[in-house]
Amino acid sequence: MYAPIKNYAFIDGTNLHLTYEYLDWKLDYNKLRNHLSKIHNVTKAYYFIGFLRQNQRIYNDLKIWGYSLKFREVSPRDTEYIICHKCGQIYEAGTSKYKCDCDADIVLQIMSDVNNFNKAVLITSDGDFDHVVENLIRTNKLKLVLAPCKKGCSNLLLRVARGRIGFIDELRAELEKI
């Protein structure tokens, strides 16, 4: 009997959101979820994000579109300006007044679910995921790293992914919110 493919997506929501805020185009998260299902056979898509009460409508939409939300407590930023660690660009903290680091939560979820999925799709451009990507490759569990943007992607992540990497910004025509 044939067992259906069950791939899981693990999405660094803050990384994804801030990238598109910086690029100044709106990502359609419903289209992204459909893309993950149709192209990558993703049956479960974890979306890791900081919780802010004022964003409840956004969280509701993400749930409706099929994301499994994983919340992390946020803390206020102390600086007026933020320097993007990907491109060195300085931008005003007014676009992001809170900090939320979900990296450890994402890695823990991947390792907890590793026997429940066939392959993982990791959505991030953060080089902090180098060891988990290496581990997923070694165990034949990585389908793809899907970075939000090629320009801002960590060189470390590019290197460890060994060609198993794609870029959401190259799918703009398909995934942009109209």
Question: Would you state the pLDDT for residue 20?
Answer: 82
pTM of the model: 0.87
Looking at domain 7-175, its CATH superfamily turns out to be 5'-nuclease (3.40.50.1010)
Q: List b or e across 96-121, with b for residues whose CB sees 16 or more CB atoms inside 10 angstroms.
A: beeebbbbebbbebbeebeeebebbb
Q: Where are the domains of the chain?
A: 7-175
> Looking at per-residue confidence, does 99 or 155 come out higher?
155
Residue among 157, 161, 117 at smallest CA distance from 138: 161
pLDDT > 70? residue 36: yes
Contact of 8 with 136, CB cutoff 8 Å: no
* Mean of per-residue pLDDT scores for the chain: 89
168 φ/ψ angles, rounded to the nearest 5 degrees: -65, -35
Q: How many whole angstroms separate alpha carbon 51 and alpha carbon 128?
A: 22
Q: How many whole angstroms separate alpha carbon 63 and alpha carbon 143?
A: 24
